[in-house]
Chain A
Amino acid sequence: MEKFKTISSTNQKAKELAQEGAEPWTIIVAEEQKAGYGKEKVSWFSPNGGLYFSIILPKSQIEDLQTLTILAAFIVAKTIKDTFSLEPLIKLPNDVLIKQKKVAGILTENIIGKEIKNSIIGIGLNSNIDEFPRELEKSATSLKIELGREVDNEKILEMIIKGLKEQLKTISQ
């Protein structure tokens, strides 16, 4: 696991490391992203307090990677539900919502030449974020806002990684 205080984007870093030959299941975690992004490079609000991480995935078939993206949303939602008794909903395939507001986003990126070279999955979870900019207030929330207390980012990360590994044992190495 590689931890960063501040990073441009964990997905970007994961892609760079994957191309340099980093091992599958290398995890890049940051406390803050300066240029976090989601689908179609739309900016992902990533201040201190949130949980931002990306995983270099084992070489897999494209169909398995699609399944993985959906599974990741399921695992994030289940972790939130089981740990905090909140009622998250999955907006397939990329987002997890609480009360119709985005609390987590998932982005899988593949690098493809003649075959799939590298795949990474990035997850951004609004955990300990106190407030959102005005333009996001109606569409985003955080676990802290919903619970009225802080949550343990490391524990959540551990649970999500464990869940992913358990669910994805069948992905080809």
Chain B
Amino acid sequence: MQTEIKIKNKNYHIDIAEMAEGLLKVKVNNRNYFFAKNKSGELVSVDPKLYANGVELEENGFVYDGLAEKEIKSPIAGIISSIDVKKGSKVKSGQRVATLIAMKMENEIIVETAGVVKEVKIKEKQFVNSNEILIILE
């Protein structure tokens, strides 16, 4: 299904296709987004690499997840012991981006969406509060 929408004087070409059972690809201009129903029946953005064979993947192996969380936040207060990415780094879902020492444990912070690092807002040895933004993805 194809359609055109206009938001704030900008036109968007939308193409929606079912890639596999329960998996939708929504192409907005030239960028693909994938959605599937979660256990609660809500339509959520997903990484199609998790799905069965036969699902078309992006050529470069990365899927840009349009609705995913763009801000990677600290889950708890602690000290940043290492940072694994820099501005411009491509990250895959599940990839470690930083390690936080907190509550006497080592906590590897991973991204749950693929993307490109737009900004790293932390430095090594820096103290961060819970819910503080660590990294922003494009």
Number of residues from B at the complex interface, CB < 8 A: 17
B107 nearest in chain A by CB position? A110
Residue B110 contacts which of A39, A69, A111 (CB distance < 8 angstroms)? Answer: A111
What separation, in Å, do the CA atoms of A70 and B96 have in the docked complex? Answer: 26
CB distance from B29 to the nearest CB of A (A): 28
Does the CB pair B110–A113 fall under 8 Å?
yes
**How many Cβ-Cβ contacts under 8 Å join chain A to chain B?**
53
Evaluate contact between B106 and A111: CB separation under 8 angstroms.
Answer: no
One digit per residue, 1 when the CB lies within 8 angstroms of any chain A CB and 0 when it does not, for chain B 101-118 equals 101111111111000000
Taking CB atoms and an 8 Å cut-off, the chain A residues in 101-153 that contact chain B are 107-117
Q: Contacts of A70 on B, CB cut-off 8 Å? A: 104
Interface residues of B in 46-99 (CB under 8 A from A): 69, 75-76, 81, 94, 96
Q: Which of B76, B101, B112 contacts A114 (CB 8 A)?
A: B112
Q: Beyond the given A66-B104, A114-B112, could you list 10 further A-B residue pairs with CB under 8 A, ordered by the A residue number? A: A62-B103, A63-B103, A65-B105, A69-B104, A108-B106, A111-B108, A112-B107, A112-B108, A112-B110, A116-B75
Pairs across A and B, CB under 8 Å, 13 listed: A62-B76, A62-B105, A66-B104, A94-B104, A108-B106, A109-B106, A110-B105, A110-B106, A111-B96, A111-B110, A112-B107, A113-B94, A113-B111
